[in-house]
Amino acid sequence: MAQTKSTGGTKKRPGKKAKPPAPQKTTKTAPKKSTKTKKKPRTASKAGTKKPAKKKNPDFFHELKKTVLGIAILVSVCLTAAMLIDIFIQADRPVAPKTQAVAQPQDPVPPPPRQKHQPPETKRLPTAEPKIISKAKSLKGKNNSAGKSSIAESSLPREGSAIVYEVYEDVTPAPTKKVIPPKKNNFVPRIAIIIDDIGYNKELAMGLFNIDKNITFSILPFSPAGTQLAHSLSAKGAELMLHLPMEPTQYPKVNPGPGALLSSMSPDELLTQLRKDIHAVPGTVGANNHMGSRLTADSDKMNQIFTVLKQKNLFFVDSRTSAESKGEQSARMFQLKFSHRDVFLDNFQDIEYISGQIKKLIKQAKDHGSAIGIGHPHQATLDALKRELPKLKEKARLVPASRLVEVPES
């Protein structure tokens, strides 16, 4: 009985085993796998939708950059072409302006009539009033316009032109020279006479030398006969100086001439020009200024000039065309031998007037021990010196300018 039940139970169980466990496990795992597999295609589809959007933006900006770059290249090419065209157009023009620009500085000093009748030129000059003796006022009119720091002319009939120079008459005695009481027996005052503007008229220059070999000659650089006269006078034993052209207050209306030192020059330009000027006058032992009322009042420029003069062992005589000259203080700084003009001899071309100025020079020498006079190569100057210099033996002794220069005391 018992066995039949158990067997019968066993027959019924296999039919039941096919239903429950195995199918349930498979159905549970299957949906999990299906969910995982479904998520992956969704992410792929999403990524697929975003990628095309990212590709479109770079393509747009890339094309924009290309167009901008192309426009920039086109503009630069156009500008370059325009510049080249402009250069070729202007290449035909520079000849005329250059010749005009070069011709202006090389023009001679303005003609005498303009210098005589231009009142504005005298208004711009130093303010100190000149002391002109009554004889000069009564002279015949062509040089009576000399004023404060005035422009006088040195006529040169052979060259058909005129040299212009500045005149400044000091009212007060020379400040750098002490009064020396005359000695009873051996005291003889000394004078030096410098003739400026040498280099144009050979006959007058040699005629002045023949009066007295101790006359000092100051030669303009680059003048027509300057180098020849330098060799001739030096061979005869004359003392030579460089008559250094410097900018006046009337510049550019009044041109100092070739080789001029100008306030607009850089230090290198000024020193280069100065060395050329010195080289143009062989045998020079010193220098004095031609014009220079503006430049001598500029302490920086004078310091630059004196550096070269010190190197070359040259002295300097200040023509004193300006009351504001800084020459003495620069000479003191550089320990350069220095002096200055005491008397202008020939402001007016009259023998009597020039003779009076020579006597004034002798009086200055008696009062101060020595004095320097400056004249110019005029016939009247030559005639006056012929008359007065032979009388000097008892009153004063004529010496070269180098004998009357010394380092200014501090």
Task: Report the C-alpha gap between 221 and 295 in whole angstroms.
Answer: 18
Q: List residues bridging with 195 in a β-sheet.
A: 217, 375
Q: What is the chain's length?
A: 410
Q: What is the tens place of the pLDDT at every residue in 183-231? A: 556 789 999 999 999 999 999 999 999 999 999 999 999 999 999 999 9
Distance (Å, rounded) from C-alpha 280 to C-alpha 219?
9
Task: Give yes or no: residues 242 and 374 share one domain.
Answer: yes
Based on the domain organization, do 313 and 197 belong to the same domain? yes
> How many Cβ atoms from other residues are within 10 Å of residue 87's Cβ?
9
Residue 34 lies in a domain: no
Question: Which pLDDT does position 184 carry in this prediction?
Answer: 54
Residue-level pLDDT at 212 = 96
Beta partners for residue 163, in sequence order: 154
DSSP 118-144: -HHHHHTS-SSPP---HHHHTS-GGGT
Q: Which residues are bridge partners to 151 per DSSP?
A: 166
CA distance 407 to 332: 6
In a domain, 153, yes or no: no
Q: Could you give the CA distance from residue 113 to residue 347 in angstroms, rounded to a whole number?
A: 17
Global pTM value = 0.62
Residue range(s) defining the domain that contains residue 67: 59-100
Helix, strand, coil shares of the chain as percentages rounded to 5? 50, 15, 35
Reported as a single tens digit per residue, the pLDDT across 327-363 is 999 999 999 999 999 999 999 999 999 999 999 999 9
Structure tokens at 120: 């504005």
Residue 131 located in a structural domain: no
Span of 74-88, 225-239, 250-264 with lowest mean pLDDT: 74-88
Q: How many helices (H) and strands (E) does the chain have?
A: 13, 11
Averaged confidence pLDDT in the chain: 76
Residue 35 lies in a domain: no
pLDDT confidence of 82, banded at 50, 70, 90? Answer: confident
The string of DSSP letters for 353-376 reads: HHHHHHHHHHHHHHHHSEEEEEE-
Residue entry with tokens 């070359």: 312
**pLDDT tens sequence across 135-144:** 333 333 344 3
Number of domains in the chain: 2
pLDDT at 147: 41
- Give CA–CA dist 354/155, Å, rounded: 16
Q: Residue 136 falls within a domain, yes or no? A: no
> Which of residues 100, 117, 133 is at a domain's end?
100
Is residue 339 located within the same domain as residue 259?
A: yes
93 and 210 co-located in one domain? no
pLDDT at 111 over 90: no
Residues 385 and 273 in one domain: yes
Residue 369 lies in a domain: yes
Cβ atoms < 10 Å from Cβ of 394? 6
Q: Are residues 310 and 399 in the same domain?
A: yes
Does any domain span residue 365?
A: yes
**One domain for residues 226 and 300:** yes
The percent of residues in the chain predicted with pLDDT above 70, rounded, is 62
Q: pLDDT at position 177, please?
A: 52
- Of 202, 223, 196, which Cα lies nearest the Cα of 381? 196
What's the CATH code of the domain at 262?
A: 3.20.20.370
Instruction: Look at the alpha carbons of 142, 144, 150, 156 in this order and tell me if their dihedral is positive or negative.
Output: positive
Does residue 403 or residue 157 have the better pLDDT? 403
pLDDT in tens, 374-391: 999 999 999 999 999 999
Residue 64, pLDDT score: 82
Sign of CA dihedral 274, 280, 286, 292: negative
CB 242 within 8 A of CB 286: yes
- pLDDT at position 26, please? 45
CB atoms within 10 A of CB 233: 23
As to burial, measured by CB atoms within 10 angstroms (0-12 exposed, 13-18 middle, 19+ buried), residue 313 is exposed
State the pLDDT confidence band at 74, using cuts at 50, 70 and 90.
confident
Greater model confidence, 349 or 6: 349
Nearest to 330 by CA among 306, 312, 311, 349: 306
Cα distance between residue 222 and residue 85, in whole Å: 42
Helix, strand or coil, per DSSP, at residue 399: coil
- Which pLDDT belongs to residue 63? 82
Q: Do 164 and 81 fall within a single domain? A: no
Shared-domain flag, residues 309 and 376: yes
Residue 120 lies in a domain: no
What is d(CA 121, CA 153) in angstroms, rounded to the nearest whole number? 14
Residues 164 and 83 in one domain: no
Q: State the CB neighbour count (10 A cutoff) for residue 152.
A: 22
Query: Based on the domain organization, do 187 and 333 belong to the same domain?
Result: yes
